[in-house]
Structure 1
Amino acid sequence: MRILENIISDRGSKYAVSGGPCASEEEAKAFLKELKRNKKFAKATHNTWGLLTGDAPIKNDDGESGAGMVILRMLEREGLKDHIIVVTRWFGGKHLGGDRFRHVQDAVRTYLESME
């Protein structure tokens, strides 16, 4: 499991991104359970994720509507299968509007670049 913390900060909201090998929805749930063993991630406002498996794409917005699809689209563009990416957000008190999608994209891009 790779975790990159404090990668984006905007109007009080803070973002982290994490990921690792994952081949099914069951493995994704296990990955999130392991991530949330860290209390900081368990207390996060959103742990949004996407995963491309051999069967089908799987995503979870965790209350951040549309964010899971942003992650899936980026995974599809990269052709990265059987690898989960989780974007975590701690809400800072101010709504970010459309900027939150840009931050999700930036977080995923940061993660993908860290794999190279």
Structure 2
Amino acid sequence: MQIFDNIVTDRGSKYAVSGGPCATGDDAKAFIKTLCKTKKFAKATHNTWGFVGVNGPVKNDDGESGAGMVIVRMLQREGLTDHIVVVTRWYGGKHLGGDRFRHVQTAVRHYLDQL
């Protein structure tokens, strides 16, 4: 599991990105459970994730509507399969509108650049 913290800060909201091997929905649940053992990630407003497995894409928006699909599309374009990417957001009190999708993309791009 790789974790990159403080990737983006905007209007009080903070973003982190993490990821690791993942082939099934059960693997994804186990990954999120492990990530959330860290109190900081358990208290996050959103832990949005996606991966592309043998049965196709799997995603979870965790209340950040549409963000899971942004992650999946980026993984598909990159050709990265059997690998989960989680974008974590701590809400800062101000709505970000469409900027939140740009921040998700920035976080995923940061993660992919580290591979």
Give the superposition deviation at 1:24.
0.3
The aligned amino acid for 2:44 is A
SS at match of 2:69: helix
Deviations 1:63-87 (A, max 9, x none): 0000000000000000000000000
The aligned amino acid for 1:89 is R
| Distance across 2 between alignment mates of 1:55 and 1:95 | 35
The aligned amino acid for 2:87 is V
Deviations 1:72-109 (A, max 9, x none): 00000000000000000000000000000000000000
Alignment of 1:1-116 (within 5 A): 1-115=1-115
Give the superposition deviation at 1:30.
0.1
| Distance across 2 between alignment mates of 1:28 and 1:8 | 24
Unaligned runs of 5+ in 1: none
Unaligned runs of 5+ in 2: none
How high is the TM-score relative to the length of structure 2?
0.99
Calculate percent identity across the aligned residue pairs.
73
| Distance across 2 between alignment mates of 1:78 and 1:56 | 15
The aligned amino acid for 1:93 is G
